[in-house]
Structure formats: C-alpha cells, structure tokens
Structure 1
C-alpha cells in the first residue's frame, strides 16, 4: 500500500544527481571499523594527547633524580702573579698550575624530594588514564561522525522523496486546473509546497557534504561512500536494565573519574612535599682533588708551604641542614598546596556527580529510544494510511489541497523521525558504555556486523517490510 511513496522514491532517485552512496560501487564503500582505524592512525587530537602524555611522563625520572647520587667533575687552570713590598726589597713571584676535582653527593634524608617523587608517580598515572580516556573517546567520536553521515544521507533520501511527491502533486494540480476541476489556489498551494521541499533538499545535500567533511577532519582521509546500517539491527534495552548497576560500574571504571582520583593523590603528595620544607636534610658528600700544590691552594698551610709538587685531597662527610626561617616562603607554599588539594577534591566530586547524572540519563535515553524506534516506525505506517485517505478525500471533494500537502509533510517528517530515532539509539548506547567505562573497539565490531556494503540511501532508508505492514494495517491486521 506504499505505492505512492515507492513511486516518489523512484522519481527522486532518478532525478537527483546527489545520490552519494548509490553512485559508488559497493566494493569501494568504507566500513565503520576502517574509519576508526584510520582515525587512530591519523587523528591530530589523539596524536597531541599522546605527545602530551609523553611529556608529562618525564616528571617521574625528573623527580627520581632528586633521590639519586649527583656526580660532577671539573678542572681549574690558574696563573697567579704576586708582588710584595718589603723593607728589605720587593718580592715578585709567579705561580701557575692545573687541578682536577670530582664531587659526589648522595641524599640520605630528603623528605621533600621523596614526596615530590610520589606526586610525580600519581601525576603520571593521571596522565596515563587521561590518554586512555582520549583513546576511548575516539571510539565514540568515530561512531558519531560515521553515523552522522548515514543520518544525513537518509535525511537527504527522504527529502528527495518528499520533493518528488510534491512535484507529482503540483503536476496533478496543474492537470486538474487545466480541465477545470480545481482553481488556481490549489496550483499555488502545490507550487509553494514543492518550492519548500526543493529548498529543503538543497540544504540536505549540503549537510551530507558537511558530514563527509567531518570524516575527513577525523581521519585525514576522504571517502566516496560508506556502508549503511541495516534495519535488522536489534533494538534492545540495556543489559543489565538497571540504572544503579550502570552507575556502580561507572564509579569503578569511568576513566575520567579514575584520572581525577590520581589528581587528588598528586595534590596530597604535593601538600606533604610543601610541609616537609620545614624538615632538616641530610646528605653524604665526597670530594677528590688532584693537581699542583699552588693551584689547590695548599701553600697557606705551614705543613705544605715548602712543597711545590702535585698534591691530592680526599674529603668525605655528612651535611646537615636545618631550615629555620625562609621569609615565610615555606608556609605560603603549604597554604597554596592545601587550597590546590581542596580544589582538586571538589573537582573530583563535581565530576562524579556529572558521571552519575549522565549515566542515569543515558540509561533512560536508551530505554526511551527502544520504544521510540518502534513508535516512529508505526507512525510512518499510520501517516501513509492517512495520506492515502486524504488523497481519496481530495479526489471526491471532501478534502482540499492543503490537507493533502500537510499529510505529505507529516509522512516524510515521520520518516526522518524514525531514522533519527535509530541513530539516536546507536549513539546513546555507545555513550552509556563510555560513561560506564566499558566502551571498547569490540563495540564497533559488533555494529559492523549489521552494516550493509551495498546500502543505497535512496532505497534503504525505509524498512523493507514497511509496505507489508501498511497493507496489514489497512486490512485490519495491526499485529503484523
């Protein structure tokens, strides 16, 4: 019973030069997993996140260096001229020499550096989880961008079908006007409807191009066509269908929330580091020097005053430093670190609340989508039947052209609403899994099993069993 709708599809498909998916051979169409893999290799945001993690991870060896030995070496070359005025005559002397030295320092007690090292490790873990969250977000972003193209293509297909239907209505209005069965008003109304549908089709064509451009931005690759999703995709409620279970999972596995936990750990260790600025420090030091006696400066010693050859000196000891007052710097840094810790804890709490809210909302959204998809599909059938009845009424004079045009608008609006509900269901499912921290590339693999390589939006944007369902409804069998 969808004879008129099928005819409109055929006319639109033949008349349009913008059938993106139909113009490319099936073998050249790109799938969802391929788009994701290209995004992993070429996405600029992910590459930047990886570089950022590489930079942040260096804080660990930098902090650890403060706990390890410090060894340095050096050399001195000196030339000293001395003139002394004495009562018995002037004394001139010139001395030169070269000396070498090596110094070793090993921290024995440095509480501030130890806590700095612990903070660095927490910061590294935080950065690692933030990178994982970015990688996980790319899964969702790839799906959103991919299905945005399919949504735009299906919208274009329905808009072209609508344009063809209005064009047919305009032709019929002109024919009826020519034989005197209607007045000029019907022609003008039909012309206005056709002009509006044509403008909508032009906008829909641009939206398809914009959607494909978003794929280019995501992957740095251009695609002529992509595989479409079949109408046989199961529309099922979440498993488990319990919002609390999803929230509990999110509290344990959400990557952003885990990252914020390590941010708090890093702030706590930083506060301990600042407080330890009041603590004493103890280092073991050793120094070895060798060189000319003159260059080492031993000639001021009575024991070595007559020795002009090479000399060696070895020093081993402990250095204890007890901070007493630093102008209030340490106390100020403690107060700063305490406020930073408070800020980090509050940010974590805010994030936790947002995640709980998002998880519950997405759980409700998926359940709503399940019912909405079925309701939208039924609305297409009902609107098609209403259009059939309205057209019959128009033919016998009980309905006017405005009623017919409105019925057509309702029909194609219901088509677009149905496809929007399908794609909303897919994306909300993925968003729910991301909120719970369970989203993985395998979820894209599961969706790919329902992709249709030869998908043609102009033919496949409607369920294949829709005509039979409409016929069953008109025959009094709504349970089809």
Structure 2
C-alpha cells in the first residue's frame, strides 16, 4: 500500500507538538482593538508626542502676551546724600518709595506677526500630534499581525518538520528492507535537520513579535485572536490611483502640517522685517515715597528738615525708532528668508513622497489581491506535485531529492500565501494612512474577521485546502 505524505499528516503531527507550542487558554486571547486601546493608554511615544503638543500650544499665549498690557510694581528703601560745590549746599534723603508701571503696546508690528507665526506653529503641532495618533493605529496593526504572521510561519515550519521527519522514517524503513541505499537516508536526515533548525528560528521570531507587542503596549499578551481566511480580499475603493492621490493631497496629516510650517516661516519673516519699523507704547507710572528724613544744608551752615510723603503720577506715549542695531535685524531677515525657503522645499519634498507612497501602495494592494489568489492556487498545485513525486519515488521514477524539493516547495507556498494575506491587510491600512483617512474604525472592521478560537497549528491553511488535504490522505490509504 502506497503511503503518500500530505499536508493532513504534517498538520496532525504539528498539532500534537511539544509542550512549548501549546496555546494559552482561549479566555486569555487578545483582539486587535484591545491591543490598540492598550497602546493608546500605555505607549510612551504617544505620551511624549502629547506632551510636545501641549508644550507647543503655549507659544500662542506667550506671543499674545507681547500685545497685552504689562503691569509691574515695586518698592525701594534708600538713604541718599547729595552735595553741591556752588552754591555750597547738601541734601540728604531717606525713606521708602513705592511704584507701579503700566505699559500698553499700541503699535508693535513685530509682535503681531510673532503671534501669527505662533498660531501657525500651534496648528502644525496639533496636526503632527494627530499624525502620531494615526500612526499608532498602523503600528498597533503591524505589531498585531506580525505576531499572527510569525505564528502561521511557525505552524507551517512545524508541519514541514513533521513532514521531513516522516520522510526520514520512510527512508529508514526502505533502507532496512533493501529498497533504497544509504544516500536516501542521509538526504532525508539532512532535510529533517534543516527543517528543525528553521523551526527553532521561527519559534524565536514568534517570541520576538510578542516582545515588540509588549514594547508597544507595555502589557504581556498570552495569545491573540487570529484572522479568518474568509476575510474579503478586494481591490481598493475607488480603484483609481489618481483619486487616492487627490485625497492624500487634501487630507494627509503630515502634508497639512507642512503647510502650517510654511505659514509660520512666512509670518516669522514678516516679524523680522518689522524689526525696522518704529514702535509706539502708552506708558503710565505712579510713585509714592515716604520722605520722613529729608534735610537741606546751605552754604552758611544752616539746615532745614522736611518731612512728608511725595506722590508722583506720569502718563504718556513712548515712540521708539530703530536706526542701527549693528546689522542684527538685517541678518535676522536674511536668516528667516532662508528658513522660509527651507520649509517650502521640505513641503515640496514631502508632497512628492506622499504622491509616490500613495501610488505605490495603491499598486501594492492590487498586487496583493492577485497574490493571495495566486498563492492559494500554488498551494494546491504544490500539493498535487508533491503527491505525484511521492508516487514516482515509490515506483522508482523519482529519487529522494525530488521528494524533499517538492516538500520544500509546498511549505514555501504555504508561507507565501500567509505572507500575501498579511501584506494585503497592512498595505490597505498604509494606503489609508497615506491618504489621511485611517481611523480606529478600520481596526474595528478588521476585528469582525478575527477568530477567538484560532489555532495556528490547524488554521494556518484555509479550511477548504485543509479538507482537501485530509481527503487526499484518505484516498492515499486506499492503495
């Protein structure tokens, strides 16, 4: 009876793997939305971005303060003696003086433009913070699906290891009864050793992916809900790259932030130019002194003492016309002009990059749609090719190397299929981020296709392909 090796055998063997591969209890599984919520609550980068945004908002009241009244008060205690040579006389005064000063800017063009620049800077900071929040959505999805990708890769690698182990056992059996030589055993042993090494690497990649999730959320996760194979794999809507580019030009958060960066640079240039303009302030002051010890001595030696309070009020306008400041203002104007040019060129570079990324991601999603279908068909073809090769090996028309190569091709096809699935999901999210439309609702839509009892060792293949593999196994046992 021919005993052909199929995916069903490998899946069954991999599912009954060692203890370290056991799944956590289903109640401990975490879904995609929960991971994102934990990232929002615990992510250090987001907290730092929020603090930076709150700090950047303060530039507006700081700039506005330059246009508002400035009131100060103070007091002084003095003991002063003044002597005159001619006529010979001296004055002495001691006491406490209280004073208050009020300044109200009337014409301060530089401070007005500074306020305008500060408001643009604040808007830029708000958009950059929103971009950070939006990026966290993508980071959460990338970290989440990196774990699922690694788990599916591990499951396929374990199934491959089981298949090679089965092939090694068959090679030993054939060698024992004289149906093959030692070379077949050695080839099968080498294939099994390589598969085992790959499984160890895949296991480490799963642990690394979980650790990246901990870094993002500051929480440990026992296991995650997996994505079902019935997730619709559709072209982007609308399936028009130009429409996506137009949306990105209007809504990409980083691009919008760069517009405000240019506005801030323009207002800063105006502020520097206004350094040549005159300034006008309304000023008022009030002084009251305690002159309880004031003396006057004349040239004849007679002295007179005066006591009492002195009160003084002043109100007026103060005009300042800058004439020359050592070239400082002109230098600041030249610097601001170059800063404006810099921000404009940075915005143009970002605009081109956004256009490129949007078009590239639009093509990537369309390619992923075709890739998923093609890789799925490749699994079926590789499975058929493996079964045909095993039959050929049994009847002597193929050698052990052909069988091992067919097995490698089969499991490579399985990994390529799962990679194409996850690439499709993430590229869809990246396309929406480039267009500025990515939101938590996109994660909620994906969460509807998560499976709480997902078992990578059993579910890394589509159910219909797994059933086909089982059917193939039953048919092979009839020989």
TM-score if structure 2 supplies the norm length?
0.93
What is the distance in 1 between the residues matched to 2:452 and 2:249? 39
Aligned to 1:35: 35
Aligned to 1:80: 80
Q: 1:205, CA displacement in angstroms?
A: 0.3
SS at match of 1:23: coil
Please say if residues 284 and 316 of structure 2, whose CA atoms lie closer than 8 Å, have aligned partners that are also in contact: yes
What is the distance in 2 between the residues matched to 1:296 and 1:232? 98
Aligned to 1:205: 203
Q: 2:171 aligns with which of 173, 177, 191?
A: 173
SS at match of 1:18: helix
- Higher deviation after alignment, 97-106 or 286-295: 286-295
Q: 1:95, CA displacement in angstroms?
A: 3.0
Aligned to 1:345: 344
SS at match of 1:103: strand
Q: 1:293, CA displacement in angstroms?
A: 4.5
SS at match of 2:317: strand
Asked if 1:368 is matched to 2:367, the reply is yes
Q: What is the number of residues matched between the two proteins?
A: 465
Q: 1:309, CA displacement in angstroms?
A: 1.6
SS at match of 2:78: strand
SS at match of 1:287: strand
- Map 1:80-479 to 2 at 5 A: 80-81=80-81, 94-293=92-291, 308-467=307-466
Q: In angstroms, what is the RMSD of aligned CA positions?
A: 2.4
Please say if residues 137 and 440 of structure 2, whose CA atoms lie closer than 8 Å, have aligned partners that are also in contact: yes
Question: What whole-Å deviation, never above 9, does each CA across 1:123-150 have from its counterpart, x for those lacking one?
Answer: 0000000000000000000000000000
Please say if residues 16 and 160 of structure 1, whose CA atoms lie closer than 8 Å, have aligned partners that are also in contact: no
Please say if residues 77 and 295 of structure 1, whose CA atoms lie closer than 8 Å, have aligned partners that are also in contact: no
Aligned to 2:300: none
Q: 1:185, CA displacement in angstroms?
A: 0.3
Please say if residues 293 and 306 of structure 2, whose CA atoms lie closer than 8 Å, have aligned partners that are also in contact: no
Q: 1:6 aligns with which of 5, 8, 19?
A: 8
Seen in structure 2, the aligned counterparts of structure 1 residues 45 and 296 have a Cα distance that, compared at 3 Å, is: farther
Please say if residues 98 and 295 of structure 1, whose CA atoms lie closer than 8 Å, have aligned partners that are also in contact: no
Which consecutive residues of structure 1, in runs of 5 or more, have no partner in the other structure? 300-304, 474-480
What is the distance in 2 between the residues matched to 1:360 and 1:77? 74
Please say if residues 76 and 98 of structure 2, whose CA atoms lie closer than 8 Å, have aligned partners that are also in contact: yes
What is the distance in 2 between the residues matched to 1:128 and 1:141? 20
Seen in structure 2, the aligned counterparts of structure 1 residues 93 and 450 have a Cα distance that, compared at 3 Å, is: same
Which consecutive residues of structure 2, in runs of 5 or more, have no partner in the other structure? 298-303, 473-479
Question: What whole-Å deviation, never above 9, does each CA across 1:395-421 have from its counterpart, x for those lacking one?
Answer: 000000000000000000000000000
Q: 1:15, CA displacement in angstroms?
A: 2.6
Q: 1:92, CA displacement in angstroms?
A: 7.6
Q: 1:170, CA displacement in angstroms?
A: 0.2
Seen in structure 2, the aligned counterparts of structure 1 residues 3 and 194 have a Cα distance that, compared at 3 Å, is: closer
What is the distance in 2 between the residues matched to 1:204 and 1:410? 17
Aligned to 2:301: none
Aligned to 2:476: none
Q: 1:16, CA displacement in angstroms?
A: 2.8
Q: 1:82, CA displacement in angstroms?
A: 5.5
Question: What whole-Å deviation, never above 9, does each CA across 1:28-77 have from its counterpart, x for those lacking one?
Answer: 10000000000000000000000111111111110000000000001111
What is the distance in 2 between the residues matched to 1:173 and 1:115? 84
What is the distance in 2 between the residues matched to 1:295 and 1:52? 56
SS at match of 1:15: coil
What is the distance in 2 between the residues matched to 1:228 and 1:219? 19
Please say if residues 53 and 126 of structure 2, whose CA atoms lie closer than 8 Å, have aligned partners that are also in contact: yes
Please say if residues 105 and 283 of structure 1, whose CA atoms lie closer than 8 Å, have aligned partners that are also in contact: yes
SS at match of 1:438: coil
Please say if residues 115 and 272 of structure 1, whose CA atoms lie closer than 8 Å, have aligned partners that are also in contact: yes
What is the distance in 1 between the residues matched to 2:391 and 2:102? 100
SS at match of 1:101: strand
Question: What whole-Å deviation, never above 9, does each CA across 1:344-386 have from its counterpart, x for those lacking one?
Answer: 0000000000000000000000000000000000000000000
Q: 1:107, CA displacement in angstroms?
A: 0.2
What is the distance in 1 between the residues matched to 2:84 and 2:346? 73
